[in-house]
A and B are shown apart, each in its own frame.
Chain A
Amino acid sequence: DAGVIQSPRHEVTEMGQEVTLRCKPISGHNSLFWYRQTMMRGLELLIYFNNNVPIDDSGMPEDRFSAKMPNASFSTLKIQPSEPRDSAVYFCASSPRTGNDYGYTFGSGTRLTVV
Chain B
Amino acid sequence: AQRVTQPEKLLSVFKGAPVELKCNYSYSGSPELFWYVQYSRQRLQLLLRHISRESIKGFTADLNKGETSFHLKKPFAQEEDSAMYYCAPFSSNTGKLIFGQGTTLQVKP
Partners in one complex: no
List the interface of chain B (C-beta within 8 A of A).
none
List the interface of chain A (C-beta within 8 A of B).
none
